[in-house]
């Protein structure tokens, strides 16, 4: 039996007609939030991953849900697991290409059971999960799951979850309808339970960070970020604060400078969102709570004197309250230098290649000039929030147009 060392709390969303609904067969609209808003809410509340169930019946509805899933994968800072309305490998490939960390197949459909080995071969076992809502699977089906799937999502009768968990040879995620935290604790103690999902996690009244702390105190190893250095080891300024330099993790652009007290630092580490201490307002503030321009932590570093932090972040929108990408948008002094125009570099590379000037074009020169182009283009893309996925889409569009004549 495969064991799970660290436990997760996973939110789930059932999607029907582009809306979040309350269940697989109960299509009542769940609250007033859109699916992207609900996904972001769960993420900020402390969910470790998100499970998406596509309950579409028509191809048009399925395409709508695919657009939503693609949007979520592009914005989410937590893993996305998706499935439902899988008609073949092409649907699975689409989900993988969108950025889903794992795709699940519904094992109640015989065609999906037949598809499982081929999916494992094409995408790798680590990207495949299965969904089971019938706990009376024969042993040979368990053997197939163990061979071809990384994980099992368990739906169905809550009374038989324990028996189902103990009968499975792989890690599993029980989806509980009941809001019963004692059962959460008991299930998470099972070696092969990697996490819990369901209403018990998606309940809007529950702070998942607090729930993780409680479960951790009870001896359940939860997925939590921790600092390698205690706050007591930091060298603070006269106000008891430590300055934080914030950079874009992709291109190193310096975005802003702010300050943290111990509470802000602890909240930043726990939630993964940059939180500061406002010296002017004398209060805690999480970047983006008002503007929506959140900063998601990729890495926190400290300097050699332990008196300055460096944060590498995913910046949503502008970092500066003026609307500029960076707070450092005004030059006081600027030394003239020869800037490399990426478009000229690319044109030069292309023209030389066309003329087949072997004395100028070799592996090293192509590598260096391509690096110049991509380096500057990455900066430009970051400034205008263009992703590599956007670029790939544009290339695909042009290729399709070219083939169509």
Residue closest to 295 by CA, chosen among 329, 245, 330: 245
Q: How far is CA 149 from CA 46, 189, 265, 336, in A?
A: 27, 22, 39, 58
For 225-294, list the strands marked E by DSSP. Answer: 242-248, 254-260, 275-278, 283-286
Statement: residue 73 has pLDDT above 90: yes
Do the annotations mark residue 303 as ligand-binding? yes
Do the annotations mark residue 54 as ligand-binding? no
Statement: residue 156 has pLDDT above 80: no
Task: State whether the Cα torsion 361-363-365-371 is positive or negative.
Answer: positive
pLDDT tens, residue by residue, 349-377: 666 666 655 555 566 767 776 776 777 67
Statement: residue 138 has pLDDT above 80: no
Statement: residue 8 has pLDDT above 60: yes
Statement: residue 100 has pLDDT above 80: yes
Statement: residue 347 has pLDDT above 70: no
Share of the chain above pLDDT 70, in %: 86
Share of the chain above pLDDT 90, in %: 61
Q: How many CB atoms lie within 10 A of CB 394?
A: 11
Q: Write down the pTM of the prediction.
A: 0.79
Question: What pLDDT does 11 receive?
Answer: 95
Question: What pLDDT does 342 receive?
Answer: 58
pLDDT tens, residue by residue, 29-38: 888 899 999 9
Question: What pLDDT does 343 receive?
Answer: 61
pLDDT tens, residue by residue, 158-213: 677 888 888 888 999 999 887 788 889 999 999 999 999 998 888 777 889 999 99
Statement: residue 400 has pLDDT above 80: no
Do the annotations mark residue 327 as ligand-binding? yes
Q: How far is CA 65 from CA 19, 54, 334, in A?
A: 9, 7, 49
Question: What pLDDT does 336 receive?
Answer: 73
Average model confidence (pLDDT) across the chain: 87
Statement: residue 270 has pLDDT above 70: yes
Do the annotations mark residue 390 as ligand-binding? no
For 56-101, list the strands marked E by DSSP. Answer: 80-83
Question: What pLDDT does 219 receive?
Answer: 94
Instruction: Name the residue with higher pLDDT: 332 or 388.
Output: 332
**What integer is the mean pLDDT of 256-279?**
97
**What integer is the mean pLDDT of 12-38?**
91
Question: What pLDDT does 349 receive?
Answer: 64
Instruction: Name the residue with higher pLDDT: 27 or 332.
Output: 332
Residue closest to 75 by CA, chosen among 378, 253, 249, 296: 296
Question: What pLDDT does 250 receive?
Answer: 86
What backbone phi and psi angles, to 5 degrees, belong to 137?
-60, 140
**What integer is the mean pLDDT of 79-86?**
95
pLDDT tens, residue by residue, 281-335: 999 999 999 999 999 999 999 999 999 999 999 999 999 999 999 999 999 988 7
């Amino acid at each position: 039996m495969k064991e799970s060392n660290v436990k997760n709390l996973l939110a789930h969303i059932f999607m029907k007609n582009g809306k979040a609904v309350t269940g697989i067969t109960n299509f009542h609209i769940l609250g007033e939030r859109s699916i992207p808003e609900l996904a972001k809410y769960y993420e900020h509340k402390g969910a470790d991953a998100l499970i998406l169930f596509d309950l579409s019946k028509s191809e048009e509805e399925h395409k709508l849900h695919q657009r939503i899933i693609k949007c979520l994968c592009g914005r989410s800072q937590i893993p996305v697991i998706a499935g439902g309305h899988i008609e073949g490998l092409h649907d699975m490939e689409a989900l993988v290409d969108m950025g889903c960390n794992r795709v699940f197949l519904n094992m109640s459909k015989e065609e999906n059971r037949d598809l499982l080995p081929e999916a494992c071969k094409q995408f790798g076992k680590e990207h495949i999960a299965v969904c089971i809502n019938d706990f009376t699977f024969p042993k040979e089906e368990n053997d197939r799951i163990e061979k071809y799937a990384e994980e099992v999502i368990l739906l169905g009768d809550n009374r038989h979850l324990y028996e189902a968990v103990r009968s499975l040879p792989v890690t599993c995620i029980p989806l509980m309808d009941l809001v019963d935290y004692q059962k959460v604790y008991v299930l998470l103690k099972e070696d092969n339970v990697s996490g819990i999902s369901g209403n018990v996690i998606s309940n809007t009244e529950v702070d998942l960070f607090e729930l993780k702390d409680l479960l951790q105190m009870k001896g359940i190893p939860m997925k939590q970020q921790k600092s390698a250095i205690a706050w007591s080891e930091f060298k603070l300024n006269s106000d008891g604060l430590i300055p934080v330099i914030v950079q874009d993790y992709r291109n190193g652009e310096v975005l802003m400078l702010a300050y943290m007290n111990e509470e802000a630092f602890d909240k930043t580490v726990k939630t993964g969102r940059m939180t500061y201490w406002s010296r002017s307002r004398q209060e805690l503030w999480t970047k983006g709570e008002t503007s929506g321009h959140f900063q998601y932590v990729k890495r926190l570093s400290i300097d050699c004197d332990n008196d300055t932090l460096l944060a590498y972040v995913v910046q949503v929108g502008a970092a500066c309250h003026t609307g500029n990408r960076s707070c450092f948008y005004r030059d006081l002094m600027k030394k003239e230098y020869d800037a490399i125009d990426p478009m000229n570099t690319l044109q030069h590379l292309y023209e030389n290649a066309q003329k087949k000037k072997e004395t100028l074009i070799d592996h090293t020169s192509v590598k260096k000039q391509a690096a110049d182009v991509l380096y500057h283009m990455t900066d430009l893309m970051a400034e205008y929030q263009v992703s590599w996925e956007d670029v790939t889409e544009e290339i695909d569009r042009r290729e399709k147009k070219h083939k169509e004549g």
